[in-house]
Amino acid sequence: MTIERLVNPHIRELQPYVPGKPIEEVERELGIAGSVKLASNENPLGPSPRALAALGNDLADIHRYPDGACFVLRARLAERLGVGQDQLVFGCGADEVLELLVKTFLAPGDEVVMPWPSFAMYPIVVRGMGGVPVRVPLDADLDHDLPAMADAVSERTKIVFVCNPNNPTGTSIGAAQMADFVARLSDDVVLVIDEAYFEFVRRSDFPDSLALLAERPATLVLRTFSKIYGLAGLRVGYGIGSAELIGFLERARHPFNVNRLAEAAAVAALDDDEHAERTRALNAAGIDFLTRELEALGCRVWPSDANFVLVETGEPGTADALLREGVIVRPMGGFGLPDHIRISIGMSEENEKLVKALQRIRQRAAIPEPRS
C-alpha cells in the first residue's frame, strides 16, 4: 500500500503553489551578483520605521502567546475603516482568510466562480476543499468579464471571487461596472472582493466596497499588510464583512494565528501615513517610467492600478533571459500568457537596471547569427 492511496482525491490532484527562488540561490546557480528581485510585488521601501521599532519593543515578550483576537489591531483598524470590531477577521496573510472562507462555506462539489488569470491561490484553496473552480477568462483588455462571470453562476455556486485590482494583470473595475455585476448576483452567493492592492489605485471611480457590506451581508472584502505596509514577511491579512459572516469565519479560525510580532508591526505601520504616501508616490513614478521605457522598446504595457505592471514582450523566454542579467521577474506562462512577464515596481535604480537589461536582450536578438 502507498500513502497516495490514503490521500483525499481532491488533495492528490492539487498542483502546489511554486514560489520563486530567493536572490541568493539564483546568484549561486547562475554565478552572478548584484541581482534585483522584481517578482513578488513587495514594497521596495521596506517596512515602516515605526513597524521596525515596534518589533524591537516586543522581542522580549515572544515567549508569551499572542493576543488571539488581535485586540489592539482590531480596535485601530475598525476605527480607521469606520466598521464595527465584530466585522473584522485576521489571518496569517490574506491567504489564510481565503482558507477560512472555503472551510466555512464550501462542500465537495460546490462551485466557485473566479476570473482567470487571477490570484493563483483561488483554485488551489477551492480544490483543497473538494470544490470546483469555474474559471471565466478575462476579456480582450485583460479586465474581468463581469457579464460572463454573472452568467457562469449556477445553482451549485457558493462563492464568487472578484480581484480588484487584479493580480497578475493590474487592471481594475470601476464603480458602475461593479454595481451592475452585484445587481445580478443572488443573495445566497458569497461575494469575495479581493483588494490586496487597493491602496495603490489611481482611478477616481474605484468602488467603495465597504459601503456594499450594509446592503449585501454575504460579502467579504480582503485586504493585507503585505503590500503597501511592507510586512510581507510577517503575514498579516484581514477580511471585512457583516458581523454575521465574520462570526462564522471566527468559528473556523485557529487561535493565535497571527503572531504577536506581526500584530505589533501592523499596528505601528497602520499609523505611519507618511510611509504609505512615500510608497504610493514611488509606485506611481515607477509605473510611469516603466510604461514609457518599455513601450519605447516595443513592448505592450497594460494599464495598472497595482504595484506591478504586466508586460507583453512577444518572447516566451524573456523572464529566463532577464534572470541571466540579474533581474528576477515573474514569468506568466503558468497563467496562459507565455509571452508576458509581471514586473514589480522597484526603486528607481532597480527599474533602470531592468530596462537596460531588456535593451541588451533586444539588441542581442536583433544581431543575426554568424554563418558557419
Q: pTM score, two decimals?
A: 0.92
Residue-by-residue pLDDT tens, the chain, 372 positions:
587 777 777 777 767 666 666 767 666 676 777 789 999 999 999 999 999 999 999 999 999 999 889 999 999 999 999 999 999 999 999 999 999 999 999 999 999 999 999 999 999 999 999 999 999 999 999 999 999 999 999 999 999 999 999 999 999 999 999 999 999 999 999 999 999 999 999 999 999 999 999 999 999 999 999 999 999 999 999 999 999 999 999 999 999 999 999 999 999 999 999 999 999 999 999 999 999 999 999 999 999 999 999 999 998 999 999 999 999 999 999 999 999 999 999 999 999 999 999 999 988 877 554 444
What type of residue sits at position 158?
K
Neighbours of 238 (CB within 10 A): 24
Neighbours of 11 (CB within 10 A): 11
How many angstroms separate the CA atoms of 246 and 122, rounded? 20
How many angstroms separate the CA atoms of 169 and 131, rounded? 25
Q: Cell for 193? A: 472582493
Size (the chain), residues: 372
Strands 219-224 and 237-241: antiparallel
Q: Cell for 35? A: 541581482
Cα–Cα nearest to 41, from 207, 202, 229, 239: 229
Phi-psi region of 34 (alpha: psi -120 to 50; beta: other; left: phi over 0): left
Cα–Cα nearest to 160, from 101, 96, 242, 93: 101
